[in-house]
Structure 1
Amino acid sequence: MAAGKGRALRHSPLRRPRRWDLSARGRAVLDALEHLVGGMGTGVLALVALLSVAVTALACLAGVGLPLVPATLRGLRAVANRERARLSHWGTEEIIAPPPPPAGLRASLADPTVRRELAWVVTHASAGLLLSLVALTFPVHAVQDATFALWWWLLPPEEAATAAYGLWEVSDTPSALAVAALAPIEIALTVVLASRMARLQAWFGRRLLRPGPGVDLSMRVAQLTATRAAVLDAHAAELRRIERSLHDGTQNRLVAVTVLLGAALRALERDPATAKAPLERAQSAAEQALAELRGVVRTILPPILTDKSLVDALAGLAAACPVPCRIDADLPVRAAASVEATAYFAVAEALTNIAKHSRARNAVVSVRRLDDRLCLQVVDDGRGGADESGSGLVGIRQRVEAHDGSFVLNSPPGGPTVLDVTLPYGM
């Protein structure tokens, strides 16, 4: 099957882009509503924290509020960290929680992180909470309008005669059924506005809850230290794997070849006619050793990445996958060899997991270059529930983080499973 750069490579006879896009849009709307519900929860907590800060400030003005400052700031930090965790779970950027706030009123007010958290709690308790309430009103009203005729019909006659729906006078069954015409409008508003409102609500937190430059640098150093240790562990594990493969497989085959050749030499001395059988067995063992050695070499660096390109290598993986898989690639320029190898192994492991565990009917692998990043996404429509504790996914994460990349797995029960990997394009 032909494979080329800048165009989609399809390996499944089923081509349903419209159905796939509609389902993706539906999942995006449900995802946005889920985050708006989560934002409403943290908005209520932010409102409580804001009231606590206001009460503490009034008590400080009265001269009795200083003992309340540490507890109030700890509560504010706890609510802000809850929002940081929520925003980190939604998206590829992790918002790292800062260290505990300093003790004392003056030191706390001088801390830039505390000031940004105070600004966030004001905006999230007002605008953020309002965005959640407004956005969730549309789907609730859509359900209410779609079922209005049913529960209006169930009302007692004396109440049904006086029932009204806002400015819409409802006096009989046709007018009650006409209320259902509002439901598609509200559903359309939900589809159009939900994602935008969720992003706008999260924008305040992403701007105000990021740690300061000093904290970010120290966290970055700690992250690089941990990544370096993980890289060394992964490298040692890879060396052990190669050593086991060579020792348990190839070496045993070569020992068998040596033994069989010795037996053939002794047979030649006694009876040349009996040397044929051990020579044939030695040839078979040598061929098996050569095949195993080639298999080990391919796991170190696939030759197809050297001979062709990452797009061609992924096309080969998709063609060999038991689940119908589509490759959507747009890579105008080749990435660094180590980056391509990491992307290749990530897709190979992901497709292996899909074939073994997901019960999926289709899979899509998308590869794009965005600025200086290689963005890789693997999506399947299986049963979901993938566990990142599995050795294969842990191996992907270690390989990706070794390149200072990011690895995000979203696999709710019932699916779909979405694996996002970003890597620096050139190393």
Structure 2
Amino acid sequence: MTRRYLLDRVRVSVDALERLVGGLGTSLLALAAFLWLIIVALMCLTGVGLLLVPGMLQAFRSVANRERDRLTRWGPVILEPEPLPGGLLPAVRDRTVQREAGWVVTHATFGFIMGIVGLSLPLYAVQCITFPLWWRWVDAEQGGPGFISFPVRTELDALAVGLIGIGWVAVVIGLGPVLARIQAAPGRALLAVDADTDLSLRVAQLTATRAAALDAHAVELRRIERSLHDGTQNRLVAVTVLLGAARRALTRDPETAGEILERAQDAAEQALAELRTVVRGILPPVLADRGLAGALTGLAGSCAVPCTVDVDVPGRCAVSVEATAYFVVAEALTNVVKHSGATRAAVTVHQKGDRLLLRVDDDGRGGADESRGSGLGGIRRRIEAVDGRLVLTSPPGGPTAMRVELPCGS
């Protein structure tokens, strides 16, 4: 239990550090937009800046949308607002634009500071922990790294600095998630659209999701029909033909009838095997028999690339959600084997509140792109059909990380 708690705390801290670094990136963009705001404001004194205001507002919108996407990956969805109003005066008076301008100023200053602090703390902890390895190459009178000002003349002094570093690790683990939430708070307060706008955008999003779900359902039905028609039905027709031939040959040539019956039995067994394959494609029985953890472990065991599985889900989710998670992992591992050139993969599943968080990582060549096929579009449609979200990170050269968030209703 203690080991599980410590691993959870480390995972939360790593996630918090990733969020802080991402927030630092958007704060730099916000800082550039803030400086542009100052320049445009000064140029407005001569009247020339008025021509630059529309471009500035569009820059605000672009930076704000980047932050909306980032915050959506780590929490409740923040929908993008409607396009900027036409005309300078309506755009300036728009409440969403005003809130975005306030967020730019806040994130460029406060968010930047939180990002720097959040990034400096773990670096400082690493410096202190490793200081006993390189303290001899530092002037003893200068003290240790950072705020450590006492002279370091002996190995015992260097070891004391290393122990301070361990203390800083504890601070990072405890304070990192808090800093990440504080950094994200202005964005969640200022970038979320108004309630009525949010409702209309949500309805539009659900309408599009429902259409995608119906399309995915139709595709799945066509796949099942094609599998039954091209495979199982042909096998059963062959069985019927062979049984008829065996019946006619039974009185004339019993030995030939026996061979025909053996062929009919083989065809029937093949038809049963294909039926089982079709049934497993609809809803794998292993989910009902062994649960999500056992089903994913079975997938990893049959994967050609070495794959580890870590599932921490206290209870059962809805059948549709578990089936979606199963098929997403199955398709993702198939992509890993076919396209990534990876030497290892990892599947991580845990529950956070009412959401099931799933992650598939590999150390392959990266460069995965939905527009080039490889099943990623189908994965996204399957996820959106249950009102889930998919975030794919696959830079050229790798690694690739697929993050999936599914509702964990029953």
* 1:145 and 1:182 in contact (8 A); partners too: yes
Which runs of structure 2 are paired with 1:414-425 in the superposition (5 Å)? 419-423=403-407, 425=409
- Of residues 366, 380, 395, the one that matches 1:397 is 380
- Counterpart position of 2:356: 376
2:113 pairs with 1:130: yes
- Counterpart position of 2:292: 314
- Rounded Cα–Cα distance in structure 2 between residues aligned with 1:252 and 1:25: 56
- Give the letter for the 1:93 counterpart: V
User: Aligned-pair distance for 1:391?
Assistant: 5.3
- Of residues 210, 216, 227, the one that matches 1:228 is 210
- Give the letter for the 2:50 counterpart: L
2:270 pairs with 1:288: yes
- Counterpart position of 1:168: 149
Which runs of structure 2 are paired with 1:337-356 in the superposition (5 Å)? 339-350=318-329, 353-354=332-333
User: Aligned-pair distance for 1:238?
Assistant: 1.2
Question: Number of paired residues?
Answer: 392
2:65 pairs with 1:81: yes
Larger Rg: 1
* 2:245 and 2:260 in contact (8 A); partners too: yes
- Of residues 94, 97, 105, the one that matches 1:114 is 97
Q: Which moved more, 1:38-47 or 1:387-396?
A: 387-396
* 1:87 and 1:94 in contact (8 A); partners too: yes
CA separation of 1:175/1:349 partners in 2, compared to 1, >3 Å: closer, same or farther?
Answer: closer
- Rounded Cα–Cα distance in structure 2 between residues aligned with 1:314 and 1:182: 43
Q: Deviations over 1:208-246 (max 9, x none)?
A: 112334543453344334323322331232122112211
CA separation of 1:36/1:293 partners in 2, compared to 1, >3 Å: closer, same or farther?
Answer: closer
User: Aligned-pair distance for 1:325?
Assistant: 5.2
* 1:120 and 1:205 in contact (8 A); partners too: yes
- Rounded Cα–Cα distance in structure 2 between residues aligned with 1:379 and 1:87: 17
User: Aligned-pair distance for 1:132?
Assistant: 1.6
- Rounded Cα–Cα distance in structure 2 between residues aligned with 1:326 and 1:170: 46
User: Aligned-pair distance for 1:74?
Assistant: 2.5
- Rounded Cα–Cα distance in structure 2 between residues aligned with 1:148 and 1:272: 89
- Counterpart position of 1:200: 182
- Rounded Cα–Cα distance in structure 2 between residues aligned with 1:21 and 1:325: 18
- Of residues 60, 80, 86, the one that matches 1:96 is 80
Which runs of structure 2 are paired with 1:226-375 in the superposition (5 Å)? 226-301=208-283, 312-314=290-292, 317-318=295-296, 320-321=298-299, 322=301, 328-331=312-315, 339-350=318-329, 353-354=332-333, 357=337, 365-366=349-350, 370=353, 373=354, 375=355
2:37 pairs with 1:56: no
TM-score by length of 1: 0.75
- Rounded Cα–Cα distance in structure 2 between residues aligned with 1:253 and 1:162: 86
TM-score by length of 2: 0.77
CA RMSD in angstroms comes to 3.9
* 1:101 and 1:114 in contact (8 A); partners too: no
- Give the letter for the 2:37 counterpart: V
* 1:112 and 1:212 in contact (8 A); partners too: no
User: Aligned-pair distance for 1:312?
Assistant: 4.7
* 1:318 and 1:326 in contact (8 A); partners too: no
CA separation of 1:411/1:200 partners in 2, compared to 1, >3 Å: closer, same or farther?
Answer: farther
CA separation of 1:331/1:151 partners in 2, compared to 1, >3 Å: closer, same or farther?
Answer: closer
Identical columns (%): 47
